[in-house]
Each structure stands twice: as C-alpha cells, then as structure tokens.
Amino acid sequence: MSEQICMQHLDLDAEIQRIINVYSEIDREKFSSELLEVVKTSQLMKLLDETGRSDPYTLREVLRVCQNLGKIDASLAWVVGVSNSAWSTYSCFHSLKMSDLGTAEQNRIFAMVLGRPGSLKKDSASDGYLLNGQWKYASGWCYSSYFFCLAAEGTDISDTKVIAVPTHLLEISEDWKATGLRGTQSVTVCAKDVQIPRSNIEDYSQILSGRNTLNSTHIVGENRPSYLGLFTGVLMNCLLGSVLGATEAGLEHVEAAANKFPIAGSTYALLSDSGAIRAELGRLRSTLDLYQRAAEYNADIIDKAACDPDLVLTVQDRVDNRCRATQVMRGCVSIVQDLLWIYGSSGLEKGNPLERIWRDVNTGARHGGFSKLIPEELVGLVRVGRDPTSLTKMF
C-alpha cells in the first residue's frame, strides 16, 4: 500500500509541476488559454473519479494537491477542488455514461453549485425535462465541460434533484464581482428551458445518504475504495487545501520580509530583531500546523470510511467533520489578519502578494458551506438531541 501511495505522490507531483510551469501572473484574473490547455487534460481535475477501472485517489491526496497549488494561486487550487467534488458527484449517477459526456475527456474540468434549486418541468416534446433557474458562485464554470446543479419539480424542494448540464447550454447572468478568488470566475449562470434527459438527473437525498450506491454501475470490484455516500464530507474538505496553501504562502512571505525591513517608529533595524515579532511568527506557524493537521484528520476520516464499507459515519461524525472544516477556514482568516498586523499597511497595497492572499482567503472562507454559523449550529443541534435535518441535509 505504501509503495502505491508513493507512486501516486510521484505522479501527482509531476502533474502539479506541469501546471506550475505554464502558470503566469495573467492567470490570476482569468485563466489563459495556455494554462487551460494543460489543466483541462490533467488528472488532477478528476482524482476522485470512480468511473474508470483504477481506484480513485484519496481525499488526503486531493487536499495535498490543492494546498500545493494554493501556494501559487488560491483560485487555481479552488477550481481543482470544485472539479474533484463534481467528479465525485458524477460517480453517483447511474445512467449517465462517459460516452454521454462527449468532450469530458478533452476537458476534465467540472463545475458545481449546490445553492437554491432551479425548476424542472416535464418536456412534452421528449421523455426528458426542461431546466430553468439561476445559480450563483459557479466557480470554474467558464472553464468546464459539465456543470452540476440542483433543481426541483414544482414547489416541493424536499424532492430535489442533481442535474448534469453541458456547460455550453447555460448563460452568464452576472459577472464575478468579489475582490477575491478572481481567477475562479465564479459567475452567476442561468438556464432557460434547457432540455435535460432523464439520464442526467439523480435524486439529491439519495446521493447525500448514499442510498443510490447499491445499484451504481460504476463500481468495479467489491474491495475498491468508494466515496459514494460520503458526498458532503468530500465537498467540505476539497476546498480546504486552496485556503491552507494561500495562508502558508502568506506566512512565508512575511517570514522572508522579517529579515529585510525595519520596524517603523522603533530602533529595530529588522522585523526579526524583535522578540515579540519572532514569538508571533512562531505562534502563527504552530497554529497553521494545527489547522493543517485538522484538515488531514478530516480527510482521513472520509478516506477510512471510503475504504471500509462496513464503517458507517454517524450523524455526529458528519456534523463534526463539517464544523472542523469551518474552523480551519475561519482560522486561516485570523492568521492572515495577524500577518498583516505584523507586516504593516504596505501589505494592503495593490500588487503586494499579501493583499491578494488576504482577499482570496477571506473570500474562500465565506463559501456557503462554512459561513453564517450553520456548521456550528448543526453540532449544537446534535449535542442537545435535536434533529439536524430540520436545519439542513448538508452533513
């Protein structure tokens, strides 16, 4: 097993480097055609794909890949994390075959939004449905071949479906206006009477609960790892690496500056001459290491469940996993804020790496899966013996 993991490390490291070699500053706002030519065909986009003959990579590997890429650009890593989450979702589809995806192997980037559901209505001209709706924060949509979203027939959102939509059938209804994660181009997209065949529709509640795995045609062999039924854990942990990587890059930037610049209004010729600054850098390094270990622990919990079909995660396990991921995100925001306090106001000047990292980390940490105290309330509901599904099914 260790030899297999080592080989995976070598392969993934080569893929990471292949992307880094073509990455440039112009890709921070929107990915260039040169970068996309490499990213579209990269195995890094679909590490959690279970539709092939080989085993999927581990969630811990996805975390490591996204953290390494996040040190270069959080947007790049974010798109990789979203794509892997979407590929894991695709593996839950029973009828949708790779041949139906058309250009998916020419463009392995997938996008996904699990916000408010759109609407489905039966199409009288076919055996399928018509999709209408709007989905905000569609990260990587303009780069992707397929987009996964939620929709419901009628007003009953309890019967929500996951829809696989060819990207070219959707339209942009609003540009990405946030100051951070600019390269993700997380625009708002809409569907206007888009024809959807039945093969492109799966029940959302069954994906969340794992009940749809029993009849899945994608499972090859009984002993291979499978993340089907662990969807929420996969999603919540795929995005951590980009923010952790960006935070690590910010810390290294300030550490390097400590031996270059004085402290204004003091006799310190260098930041590193100050014992207080040295202690603060040490504290932030240790704190970031704790968040890194928490993220790895989260991934290991999901990986263990993926490898052991007899291991069933409890509701407590699931809500704790989501809340730990949230604490990692919030912790990274705090670290970057403290780094700016050490560095000074010049860290917020346009063009300073710390300013960009500050924007990216603050934007990424406020993803709907981590924000507005919902993850914390979920844990609280379970601890006082109440039903967390009364609040959300996302755990």
pLDDT digits (tens, 9 = 90+) for 140-172: 999 999 999 999 998 777 789 999 999 999 999
Q: What is the CA radius of gyration of the chain?
A: 22
pLDDT score, position 86: 95
* Matching residue, tokens 């951070």: 180
The three-class DSSP label of residue 95 is: coil
For the chain, which residues score pLDDT lower than 70? 1-10, 97-103, 211-222
3-state secondary structure of 301: helix
Is residue 268 within 8 A of residue 262, CB to CB? The reply is yes
Grouping H, G, I as helix, E, B as strand and the rest as coil, residue 343 is: helix
C-alpha dihedral sign at 40, 46, 51, 52: positive
User: Nearest CA to 169 among 189, 186, 184, 152?
Assistant: 189
With residues binned 3-state (H G I as helix, E B as strand, rest as coil), the percentages for the chain, rounded to 5, are 55, 15, 35
The confidence score (pLDDT) of residue 289 equals: 98
Q: Look at residue 105 in the predicted model and tell me its pLDDT.
A: 78
In angstroms, rounded to a whole number, what is the distance separating the alpha carbons of residues 224 and 306? 9
pLDDT in tens, 254-301: 999 999 999 999 999 999 999 999 999 999 999 999 999 999 999 999
- pLDDT for residue 218: 47
8 A C-beta contact, residue 51 and residue 101: no
Q: What angle do CA 167, 183, 392 make, to 5 degrees?
A: 65
243-274 b/e with 16+ CB inside 10 Å = b? bbbbbbbbbebbbebbeeeebeeeebeebbeb
In angstroms, the CA 76 to CA 328 distance is 19
What are 58's two structure tokens?
């581990």
pLDDT at 222: 59
The pLDDT value given to residue 224: 83
